[in-house]
Amino acid sequence: MSESYSVLPVTSEVRVWLQSEGRTAPQADGRRLTLQELKRVIASLPDVTAQWSLGQPFHDGSLTSTSGLHTTVVVGEPGTDSKPCEFHFRGGESEFIENIVRGIAALAGPQVIYAHSGSFIHVVQ
């Protein structure tokens, strides 16, 4: 079974959680992206290609790097132009996912990636 990774913007609640885990938390807050922003960030990454499903209610994206790394981004709440979406990554290498989240953080502020198994927590700024 492959690992799943959630992405959360840093907020006061996330900051408290990070500190309880012994992690340094940035003082700045992040925010969630809309689906359109998420797609735009992924499209702007130079070494990543995406193929998006068109089915409702979920918008899944199959992401591949030029070096052959792969993950799937699963968007659970697509949102609208003004409403943020919720998403997570299913499968893939944490380094590849971190590169994608770096692009998200450049637009939306600090983000936290965490593996659902609890084996990985990383703050991306």
CATH topology of domain 4-124: TATA-Binding Protein (3.30.310)
Strands 121-124 and 59-65, bridge-based pairing: unpaired
Pick the more confident residue, 91 or 55.
91
d(CA 77, CA 63): 19
Q: What confidence tens digit (pLDDT) does each residue in 76-124 have?
A: 877 666 789 889 999 999 899 999 999 999 999 999 999 988 888 999 9
User: Mean of the pLDDT values across residues 4-18?
Assistant: 96
d(CA 41, CA 23): 27
pLDDT at 125 over 60: yes
Single pTM value for the model = 0.90
